[in-house]
Structures are given as C-alpha cells and as structure tokens.
Amino acid sequence: MKPIATTRSSMNIATGKLAVWWVLVSEIVIFGGVLGSYIMNRIAHVEWGEQASHTNTWAGAFNTFVLLTSSLFAVLAHQAAEKHDGKKAAQYLYYTCFGGLIFLIVKSFEWAHEIREGFVIQSGGFWGYYYVAAGLHGFHVLAGMLVMLWVADSAKKNQDLHRVENVGLYWHFVDIVWIFLFPLLYIAK
Amino acid sequence: MANHHDTHDHHDGAHAHHDEGWFKKYFWSTDHKIIGFQYMFTGMLLALLGAFMAYVFRMQLAFPGQAVPGWGVVSPGQYNMLITNHGSIMIFWVAMPVLIAGFGNYIIPLMIGADDMVFPRLNRLSYQLFFVSVLLLIASLVVQNGGFGGAWTAYPPLSANKDFNLTPLGSSLWLGAVAVEFVAFLLGGINFIVTAMNARAPGMKAFDVPIVVWTIVIASILFMASVGPLVAGAVMLLFDQLLGTSFFNPNRGGDPILWQHLFWFFGHPEVYVVLLPAMGIVAEVMTVFARKKLFAYKTVIYTIVATGVLSFFVWAHHQFVAGIDPRMANVFTVTTVLISIPIAEMCFVYIATLYGGSITLSTPMLWALAFMAEFMLGGVTGIYLGSSGADIFFHDTYFVVAHFHYTFFPIAIIAVMSGITYWFPKMFGRHMNDFWGKVHFWGTIIPFNGIFIPLFVLGAAGEHRRIFDYHSFPHLATPELQSLRIIATVSLVVMLAFQPVFLVNYIVSMFRGPKADKNPWKANTLEWTADSPPPHGNWAELPNCYRGPYEYSVEGRELDYWPQNEKA
C-alpha cells in the first residue's frame, strides 16, 4: 500500500529518480573523500609512484572497456523500457550485469596476483588507498548488480519499468567513478 | 520503550481500524509519526544516559578522588570514557535523532499536507539501523577493557592504536556505531529531502513551506554533502584499528592530520545541521505566540542557504594548533568570522518578528526566547575562538567547552523543549501543564548559566579540558578555581534535579492532561488542521494550500490567523 505522498510530483520529476540523484550526491562525497585524501597524499609522497608501477595497467584498461560497454547496455535497456518492451529491457540488464561480473573476476585475479607479490593493504602508502578505493568501488559494482537483477526480474513482467532508468543512472555513476580511479591508480606512476 | 507502548494504547480510539499487534504497530510501523516517536523516545532515553555521565565526571572535577554517589571512585580511564561518550551520545544520539529525525519525521509530512513520507519502508529501515547503532554503542561501553576514551573527535594515533587507547574492543564498536548511525541518517535524509521536494500539498509552492521544514531539509542536504569523507575516514580508521593498516600512522607513511580534516569537514557543517532545525522550531513558535508574520521570510531562507554554503569553508578553525600553515589559518579565520553574519542576521529577523507583536509568554515561547538569549552568548564567544591568534591561547581550555555548550545546549535541549511543548497537543491530543512547564523552564535555565559561566572564567584562567585531577597542576589547583568548579557541579546537580518535573509532566499529561482540540494555539500551518493526534494517513481528505504559513494579524480579517488550507 503506497501512500499518496509517493505518487505526488511537485517538482515534475519522478520521486524514485529524484531519490537516486540524492543517493548519487551522497556517493560523490564519499568517493570524493577517499580520492581527495589519496591525491593530497600522493602529491606529498613521490615514492608512491614506484609502488603504483606494480599495478597492471592492461588489466585496468580492459576493465575500463568492459565497464563502459556494460553502461552501453544499461542505455539500451532504458531505451527498451521507454518503448515498454520489458522483456528486452531485462535482457539488456542481464548483459550489463554480465559486464559487472567480468569486471569483478578480472579484479579478483589482479588482487590475488598483487597479494601473492606481497603488496597487501597493510603495506601502507599507495597500497592502502589502492585497496580501499578500488574495494569500495567493487562493492558498489556488486551492489549495483544485485539491484539490477531485482529490477530485471520485475521488468520481465513489464512491471515498474521506470526503475530501469534509475538503476541505469546508478550504474553510470559507478562507471564514472572508475573513470577517475583508473588513471589515478593505474596510469599515474 | 515500555512507556512508548502504553502511551499510544491510550489513543486506540482515534484510529481503531488498526488491529495489528502492538509490536507491529509501534516497532514495525511505517507511519512517519510512529517512526518520529521512536527516534524521539530513543533520543530522550539516551539523553538521560549522557546526562548521568556528565554528572559523574563533573563530580570528579569538583570533588576529585571522592566516591561519586551512584558510581563510586572514578578512575582516569573511566573519566576519559565518560567525557568521550557524553560528547558522542549528546551529539550523535540525542541532538541528531531528536531534532532532525524525530521532529523531521513527525512534522514534515503534516506540515506539507502529505499522508506519509514518500518512502515509508526506507524510513522504517532508517530507524532500525539507528537502533542497531544504539546497541553497538551500548555494547562498546560494557565490553572488556571498557568503552572508548579518545574524545568524541577520535583523533589518531590515540584512537587508531590499541596500545595507546587500551580499549581495543570499545574503540572499534564505538566507531562502528557511529558509522552505522551515519548510514541511518543518510537514508532518513534522502527521504526528508525528496518528500519536501515532491510530496507537497496541491498549491503549496516552495515559498509557502514553513521555515522549520526548510531548515530540516537544508540540514539534511548539509549532512549528506559533508558526511561522506568521514564515512570513508571511519572505514580507514577501522582498518587501522583492526587490520593494522597505516592511513593515519605517521611512523609508516600515514598522516594523523588527515583524520582531523575528514572529521571536521563533517564536524563543522554538523554544528549547522543541528542548529538550523532548532532555528526553524523557534521561528514557528515565535510567530504563533507573537501573532505576527515572520519578518522577511524569503530573506531567512536565503540566509539559511548562505549559512549552509559557508559552513563548508570553516572546518580548519578546529585545527589552528594542529600545525596548519598560518596563511591557511588566516583564510579560515575570515570565513569563520563571516559565518556569524548570516546567523546574526537570523537573530535580528527574530527580534524584528517579536517587535510590536502581542506576545504570550507560554511555556514554548519562554523556551524559544531563552534559545535566542543563550545561543547569542554562545555565538559571541565563538568570535574569540574563530580568530586564530586568540584561539592559540583558548584552544582546549574550558572556554571552548563553555562556548560550545552555550551553542549545543540551546540547540539540543532548549529548542527541543520549545518544540516538544509546542507540538505536544498535536502529538498526544492533550495539553501539558503550563505551571509545571514554567517551573521546569526556570529550573533548567538558571542552573544552566550557573554551570557554564564559571567554566568561561576557568577557561580564561587557563584550565585545560582534558585533565582528570588538577592536583598535579598547582596554578590550577587554587581554592578560587576549585570553588568555581564546585559552583558548576552544584548547578549541574540542581539542573538535573529539575528534570523529573518535566518527565512527570510529560508522562502524566499524555494520559491525564486536558483534551486539546485540533488547533489549540490558533496557528496557520497545515499540521493544525489534522485531528489531535492525527490518525494513520493524517487526514481523511488531504488539504490544499492557498497561502504562506505566517499570515497572522492580517489587516481587515476578523480572525488574527489565516490557516494555509482556507480558501478565503
């Protein structure tokens, strides 16, 4: 039973979409805090460049490609939802999720390799921020995938199709965060 | 929470169509009013705990080394635990839940003419997370080695290293409690903002929204935009504690000052997060009991926004002695002194609202007037502390303690009391006793000044705030200074002794108070057009809105008020 309040729209923006935008505002400051701290420290510590050179730029570049492609599928899902084609929208959402899965698998191979080399979160300096920033981001990828599976499940039955756009907004945000993380953690040596 | 349950059983007649069990109704409810009560009652219970802690450490300071009645002899570790948790409880578990979450939940939908929040289940989840944070906090106090004692600001390395703070479990549980609480308020805040933006009554434009709704929404935005770095920082500090990382460990390439930046980037906007709703409550009460239009309504809103923006650029005034660049200190001195301009402006607006009004000195109005008077003392002493030169002397003395208690006490107690006594007839359908309300008012306000004026003097004399027993500091252990400490402590005990007057008045009035009609104060805002107390869904038919909230004593009208939902 939805309250009448939920169906109102004084700002002419759907309530769910408005809420997602505010979630993104709060997320921006969370990642802003981590990245801001990292950048200030990175400038002060030249030796972090040497530590950063142990990250695998090619794996990072591949993951960037995977994530961008998955965002494309999120857009296609939104397009299908606009045309009230819930089945197609759900299918595209599954493709998006698959992109997220590949991203996480590549990431786990990277981390396993780095941990074997002895670069762990306790190694300090660059590595602490590397694991916290990328881990926080990975956690967001995972959460986005779970929400997306739930949205796809109802989209299949042509229910709550407006949620396809909302979860897509979130997915683009996760993507953009990675666009910042990739150069900061992998390219800058 | 037993009282909570009994309280509402009483009103079953008003909404008898609810035949769910009491657990479902009071603990699993999605009704914004019940969730508001949950926050408010939890906050008030924790206020008792926070007040008890203040009593114990004030007794230790006045009568060092003697057994405190109700506690025993205070050890140095316990003393640190008590001041730390007094601070964190009063800010995170009293001011935030009561002022923002409690009042916000109760009054936002009613004031904007909606039947509930836009996301009722998210709202319930918000309180449940908050409740988990309370459990974590209580657990942090009773675990082995005792509760966290590194001050509510939790500066590393003291907070990060168990060899220094000696409370490995307590510190981590405390930090976890704070982090979970932030998530709870983020969920609640999103709900408040979206509800006020999107669920307003037909006809209610942005500038028809009561000031208190504006202040709670802007406070939620400030909270949301400032807490992120501290959430990240809390995770990093937790890793430092539990995994042995070195984000804040200077011996291994970390930076303890980073925590201070992350903490105060949140911590200073936080002051305005709690101040703004308090200012909003006072605005509602003052217009109603002065029977006058709020002076310069739109200007107040612009001022609130300006305060919010400026509050992001003042944080480093907490770090003037932390080794920051003196040129930076100059910049932050200027921004800090600048922010007193919008706040002073709001005070002038309120005084202009009172000027020429027909003022009724009811209990809520007394609290509102006291808020202005006491808060201004807090604000004026802040000018000294915001100036980096003067702050180097005053830093970490009792002058600072007295200053922020002159801001936080008016916010978290005086304005809250004003709001509770003002909305009580709406919340419970009955009136509180005005005589005992005034006894409680004077019994709180006079001792409050008795506590903190001596602390200003002590602070100016150089009394440092982190000392457990002044005997080891001969220039601070003089009989004159000790007698000031005793005055402060005795005043505190007197103030606490008057609080049962309120509690008894509150609880007895819920059941036995004279019945209140829909609009006992003859106010304009929409909540007064609903039944007292409002049923689930608030109105049988949701109201429309035709004008702004402060049309009092309009010329040419027979009545001196003009409810927002009346067409003509």
CATH code for position B171: 1.20.210.10
- State yes or no: pLDDT of B80 exceeds 70: yes
pLDDT for the residue numbered B20:
67
CB–CB contact A22 B246 (8 Å):
no
Domain span at B369: 2-529
CB–CB contact B115 A5 (8 Å):
yes
Evaluate the omega torsion of the peptide bond into residue B157 and state whether it is cis, within 30 degrees of 0: yes
Residues from chain B that touch A5, judged by Cβ atoms under 8 A, are 109, 114-118, 195, 199
- State yes or no: pLDDT of A147 exceeds 90: yes
- State yes or no: pLDDT of B26 exceeds 90: no
- B152 domain-assigned: yes
End-to-end CA distance of chain A: 55
Structure token pair of residue A16: 């769910």
- B165 domain-assigned: yes
The total domain count for chain B is: 1
CB–CB contact A124 B229 (8 Å):
no
pLDDT tens digits, B480-533: 999 999 999 999 999 999 999 999 999 999 999 999 999 999 999 999 999 999
Residues from chain A that touch B224, judged by Cβ atoms under 8 A, are 22, 25-26, 29
- State yes or no: pLDDT of B420 exceeds 60: yes
Q: Is B258 on the interface with A (CB under 8 A)?
A: yes
CB proximity under 8 Å: B 180-219 to A: 186, 190-191, 193-195, 197-200, 204
Evaluate the omega torsion of the peptide bond into residue B533 and state whether it is cis, within 30 degrees of 0: yes
pLDDT for the residue numbered B6:
41
- State yes or no: pLDDT of B15 exceeds 90: no
CB–CB contact B537 A33 (8 Å):
no
pLDDT for the residue numbered B5:
42
**Mean pLDDT over each residue of chain B, to the nearest integer:** 93
pLDDT tens digits, B82-97: 999 999 999 999 999 9
- State yes or no: pLDDT of B450 exceeds 50: yes
CB–CB contact B253 A4 (8 Å):
no
How far apart are the CA of A30 and the nearest CA of chain B, in angstroms?
4
CB proximity under 8 Å: B 53-112 to A: 109
- B560 domain-assigned: no
- State yes or no: pLDDT of B17 exceeds 60: no
Nearest CA in chain B to A33: B229
B23: confidence class by pLDDT, cuts 50, 70, 90: confident
pLDDT tens digits, A153-163: 999 999 999 99
pLDDT tens digits, B176-233: 999 999 999 999 999 999 999 999 999 999 999 999 999 999 999 999 999 999 999 9
Name which of B116, B185, B190 to mutate to probe chain A: the one with the most chain A Cβ atoms within 10 A of its Cβ: B190
Nearest Cα to Cα of residue B458 among B445, B477, B472: B477
pLDDT for the residue numbered B46:
97
How far apart are the CA of A121 and the nearest CA of chain B, in angstroms?
6
pLDDT for the residue numbered B390:
92
- State yes or no: pLDDT of B121 exceeds 60: yes
CB–CB contact A8 B198 (8 Å):
yes
Average pLDDT over residues B111-121: 95
- B564 domain-assigned: no
Name which of A2, A17, A21, A30 to mutate to probe chain B: the one with the most chain B Cβ atoms within 10 A of its Cβ: A30
Residues from chain A that touch B236, judged by Cβ atoms under 8 A, are 128, 132
Residues from chain B that touch A40, judged by Cβ atoms under 8 A, are 258
- State yes or no: pLDDT of B251 exceeds 90: no
pLDDT for the residue numbered B330:
93
- B540 domain-assigned: no
In chain B, the percentage of residues whose pLDDT exceeds 70 is 96
pLDDT for the residue numbered B9:
40
- State yes or no: pLDDT of B440 exceeds 70: yes
Q: Please spell the DSSP secondary structure of chain A, one letter per residue.
A: ---HHHH--TTSS-HHHHHHHHHHHHHHHHHHHHHHHHHHHHHH-TTHHHHHTTS-HHHHHHHHHHHHHHHHHHHHHHHHHHTT-HHHHHHHHHHHHHHHHHHHHHHHHHHHHHHHTT--GGG-THHHHHHHHHHHHHHHHHHHHHHHHHHHHHHHTT--THHHHHHHHHHHHHHHHHHHHHIIIII--
pLDDT tens digits, A1-20: 689 999 999 999 999 999 99
CB–CB contact A128 B247 (8 Å):
yes
Find out whether A13 and B125 touch, Cβ atoms under 8 Å: no
- B446 domain-assigned: yes
Residues from chain A that touch B247, judged by Cβ atoms under 8 A, are 128-129, 132
Find out whether A148 and A167 touch, Cβ atoms under 8 Å: yes
- 3-class SS letters over B38-104: HHHHHHHHHHHHHHHHHHHHHHHHHCCCCCECCCECCCHHHHHHHHHHHHHHHHHHHHHHHHHHHHH
How far apart are the CA of A77 and the nearest CA of chain B, in angstroms?
25
Average pLDDT over residues B109-130: 96
Q: Is B150 on the interface with A (CB under 8 A)?
A: no
Name which of B118, B185, B209 to mutate to probe chain A: the one with the most chain A Cβ atoms within 10 A of its Cβ: B118
B19: confidence class by pLDDT, cuts 50, 70, 90: low
- State yes or no: pLDDT of A89 exceeds 90: yes
Gyration radius of chain B's alpha carbons = 23
Return phi, psi of residue B38, to 5°.
-55, -50
Option in A3, A10, A25 nearest B200 (CB)? A10
User: How far, CA to CA in Å, does A169 sit from each of A21, A164, A175, B244?
Assistant: 8, 9, 10, 36
Average pLDDT over residues B408-424: 97
CATH topology of domain A22-187: Four Helix Bundle (Hemerythrin (Met), subunit A) (1.20.120)
- State yes or no: pLDDT of B2 exceeds 90: no
pLDDT tens digits, A25-83: 999 999 999 999 999 999 988 889 899 999 999 999 999 999 999 999 999 999 999 99
The complex's ipTM works out to: 0.93
Average pLDDT over residues B317-334: 92
Find out whether B286 and B350 touch, Cβ atoms under 8 Å: yes
CB–CB contact B236 A132 (8 Å):
yes
